[in-house]
Structure 1
Amino acid sequence: MNAKIKDRIWTMVLYGISGFVIVLLVALISYILIKGNGFYKPSFLFGNAKFAQAGGGIGPQLFNSFYMLVVALVISVPFGVGAGIYLSEYAKEGILLSIIRLCIETMASLPSIVVGLFGLLIFVSMTNWGFTLFAGALSISVLNLPALTRVSENAISDASKSVKEASLGLGATRWQTISKIVLPSAIPQILTGIILAAGRIFGEAAALLYTAGMSAPKLDFTTVSLSNSASPFSLFRPAETLAVYIWKLNSEGMVPDAAQIANKSSAVLIVMVLLFNVLARILGKRIYESYTGKK
């Protein structure tokens, strides 16, 4: 068998594998969307669930998911990007750097349920906060920090190769080079990593079961406070997210149409995660084109 025939065979095999993955993904998404038909209705998206009664909606859970997303990103992005800058621009090869990388790899491999138990011990019990949105956001940040750090480090390292020496050669300081030249060039990749992390935050359930709780009281938006538990914007109130709500429906079934609500909620969740991924690709490409002058 000559080289051309081998090349064609393996090319067909790889195309077949790729096609199988695409078909599998499309089938999975289609099944979830078909089972959750009607998930797009405003009465379901913005309504309140009714305990022990048929019907209701996912308004509080959807709000809690987005609020958790914002708070977790506010916590994790500065630390993740800062760690990426340190590792790519300031850290020197040696024992300390090896230890830091080992810690990052270890954190990246932690199961989310283990992080949830850690959050229960530290952010719930030791602080005496109880089940709060802030405890959940801190636990999610622990999960996302390794990925954000690696994405930021790789993005800054790739961006600095072509512009770092030129900037320093023109007399710019190290920090000026990083803040004015390197970071803007690395923003597309960093932003892509942030949006992908947002998709993980939105779909996470295991870590939040033990930290944010499983209750979603009726939201009263007339009160705006970060500490008053009566306010929907409070960081110190229980916050049942959409992913946790789906788990609770399938495990407890406290409402007559629990399966139907769970199917619709799953459809909303999968659509949001898909939107996060698509948005990451589009935004990253647009920003990259704006910085490189391509159209």
Structure 2
Amino acid sequence: MTSKVTDRIATAFFWASGAVIIAILAWFLVRILGDGLPMLSWNFITGRPSEIDAGGGVGPQLFNSFYILFLSLLFSLPIGIGAGIYLAVYAKKSAFTDFIRVSVEALSSVPSIVFGLFGFLLFVNWFGLKYSIIGGAATLSLLNLPVLVRVTEESIRSVPESYWEASLALGSTRWQAIRKVLLPSAMPSLITGITLVAGRALGESAILIYTAGLSVSRILPDFNPLAMGETLATHLWYVQSEAIVPDAKQIAQGSAALLLLVVLAFNLLIGIPSRILQKKLSGGK
């Protein structure tokens, strides 16, 4: 078999693989949005849920989704980025640092329900937070940490070493070089990683069922971190499996479509500026 034939076969295979992935994604979007978009209205998006009567909304759940996401990133970003910088810049190669990296990679593959059970034991029971927004956010931050550490380390290492050496040669301290050279250069990759983490957190349900609960406050918006914090993802699970409202199926379809639109919008709003920034930095090189 000649190299040209092999090249054509490989090209056809890759094109077919891409087409299959696009077709699956298109079917996924059409199926969920086709069933759920007719349910979306201002009253549904901002209204309060109903336990018995039809016509309830998902306003508190939508608010809790973003509130818990914000708190979880508030906890995990400083620690995750700091640990990634330590591994990329300060940590010397040794058996101990290799063990840390292996441990971080292992934690990133742990099922979310395991984190949920751990958060239930630690925050709900041991710390006495009960089912609360703060307990759910703290547990969700544990899920985010391994990914943030790896993303930060790889982003820092992707910056050409000449940048670091030139900064130190000009008299910068390590912290000045990190703050003014490494982090700005690695920012597009960091933003992409944070966006993926945030998108995963928005759709997380197993962790929050065990830590944030399946109920919402009567106050909207309720910023009390000790209040129960059912999110849109957990509400979707609840109405699909245990709800007794007569329009549970329609609420589940609307919640699924809204959750999908929120995740897509969140990724686009952060991902597009990140790509623009990356192109500007590449053009400046």
Q: Same fold (TM over 0.5)?
A: yes
Does residue 1:275 correspond to 2:265, yes or no? yes
Instruction: Using the aligned pairs only, state the percent identity.
Output: 44
Distance 2:214 2:4 in 1: 59
Give the Å deviation of 1:196: 1.4
**Are 2:108 and 2:147, in contact at CA under 8 Å, matched by a contact in 1?**
yes
Unmatched 5+ stretches in structure 2: none
1:217-253 alpha-carbon deviations (Å, 9 max, x no partner): 32245xxxxxxxxxx1011111000000000001112
**Are 1:62 and 1:241, in contact at CA under 8 Å, matched by a contact in 2?**
yes
Counterpart for residue 101 of structure 1: 101
**Are 1:131 and 1:213, in contact at CA under 8 Å, matched by a contact in 2?**
yes
RMSD: 1.3
User: 278, 281, 284: which is aligned to 2:274?
Assistant: 284
Does residue 1:118 correspond to 2:118, yes or no? yes
**Are 2:46 and 2:58, in contact at CA under 8 Å, matched by a contact in 1?**
yes
**Are 2:156 and 2:183, in contact at CA under 8 Å, matched by a contact in 1?**
yes
Higher helix residue share: 2
Counterpart for residue 159 of structure 2: 159
Distance 1:172 1:131 in 2: 48
Counterpart for residue 228 of structure 2: 238
Counterpart for residue 178 of structure 2: 178
Letter in 2 for 1:65: S
Pair 1:292–1:3, CA change in 2 (3 A): closer
**Are 1:253 and 1:259, in contact at CA under 8 Å, matched by a contact in 2?**
no
Letter in 1 for 2:178: I
Give the Å deviation of 1:134: 0.8
Counterpart for residue 49 of structure 2: 49
Give the Å deviation of 1:121: 0.3
- Structure 1 residue ranges, 4+ long, deviating more than 6 angstroms after superposition: none
**Mapping 1:19-34, distance limit 5 Å:** 19-34=19-34
Distance 1:62 1:69 in 2: 11
**Are 2:129 and 2:226, in contact at CA under 8 Å, matched by a contact in 1?**
yes
SS of the residue 2:158 aligns to: helix
Distance 1:263 1:280 in 2: 26
Counterpart for residue 135 of structure 1: 135
1:8-42 alpha-carbon deviations (Å, 9 max, x no partner): 01211110011001000010111000110234411
Give the Å deviation of 1:292: 4.4
Distance 1:94 1:199 in 2: 34
Letter in 2 for 1:260: Q
**Are 1:160 and 1:182, in contact at CA under 8 Å, matched by a contact in 2?**
no
Pair 1:124–1:160, CA change in 2 (3 A): farther
User: 245, 249, 259: which is aligned to 2:239?
Assistant: 249
User: 221, 245, 261: which is aligned to 2:251?
Assistant: 261
Unmatched 5+ stretches in structure 1: 222-231
Q: Tell me which moved more, 48-57 or 117-126.
A: 48-57
Give the Å deviation of 1:277: 2.8
Give the Å deviation of 1:278: 2.6
Counterpart for residue 58 of structure 1: 58
Give the Å deviation of 1:175: 1.2
Distance 1:51 1:24 in 2: 35
Pair 1:292–1:2, CA change in 2 (3 A): closer
1:114-164 alpha-carbon deviations (Å, 9 max, x no partner): 000000000100011100111111111111111111111111111252310
SS of the residue 1:56 aligns to: coil
Distance 1:121 1:182 in 2: 39
Distance 1:11 1:220 in 2: 54
Distance 1:37 1:241 in 2: 19
